[in-house]
């Protein structure tokens, strides 16, 4: 079964603190994973994809096949990072999203 699990509905941190948004997946093949972000009153947009091994807005995510995880990390959170974050898995003919985690960064 193809599945994406984001165990936290809400993650609250203070500005400057490290952030880790958890994502675990279940997929029998070679996974392609993404993080999408939705800022308040904006449309959903791609943040980063594992294939590119990129860092966007200070965020990184490493695919760990052994732990079937693709956690999103940032060493120092900023208030503008507050948003809803979705982990997504490219399955057969569809992009499967997790339930999302709301990140709240306060000063």
Partner 1 sequence: EAQVTQNPRYLITVTGKKLTVTCSQNMNHEYMSWYRQDPGLGLRQIYYSMNVEVTDKGDVPEGYKVSRKEKRNFPLILESPSPNQTSLYFCASSLGPGGRDNEQFFGPGTRLTVL
Strand partners, 26: 3
* Binding flag, residue 10, partner 1 (CB under 8 A): no
Interface with partner 1 (CB under 8 A), residue from 74, 83, 98, 105: 98
Q: What is the CA radius of gyration of the chain?
A: 13
Q: Determine the 3-state secondary structure of 80 from DSSP.
A: helix
User: Binding segment for partner 1 among 17-25, 38-46, 53-61, 70-78 (CB under 8 A)?
Assistant: 38-46
Classify 51 as helix, strand or coil.
helix
Nearer to partner 1, 92 or 107 (CB): 92
Residue 15's region, left for phi above 0, alpha for psi from -120 to 50, else beta, is beta
Q: Is 103 in the site for partner 1 (CB under 8 A)?
A: no
The DSSP call for residue 18 is -
94 counts as binding partner 1 under rule CB under 8 A? yes
Please give the residue ranges that form the binding site for partner 1 (CB under 8 A). 6, 9, 32, 34, 36, 43-46, 49, 51, 86, 88, 90, 93-100
């Amino acid at each position: 079964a193809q599945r994406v699990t984001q165990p936290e509905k809400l993650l609250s941190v203070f500005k400057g603190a490290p952030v880790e948004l958890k994502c675990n997946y279940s997929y029998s093949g070679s996974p392609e994973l993404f993080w999408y972000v939705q800022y308040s009153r904006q449309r959903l947009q791609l943040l980063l994809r594992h294939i590119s091994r990129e860092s966007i807005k200070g965020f990184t995510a490493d695919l760990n096949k052994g732990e079937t995880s693709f956690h999103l990390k940032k060493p120092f959170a900023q208030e503008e990072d507050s948003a809803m974050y979705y982990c997504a898995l490219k399955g057969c003919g569809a992009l499967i999203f997790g339930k999302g985690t709301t990140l709240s960064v306060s000063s």
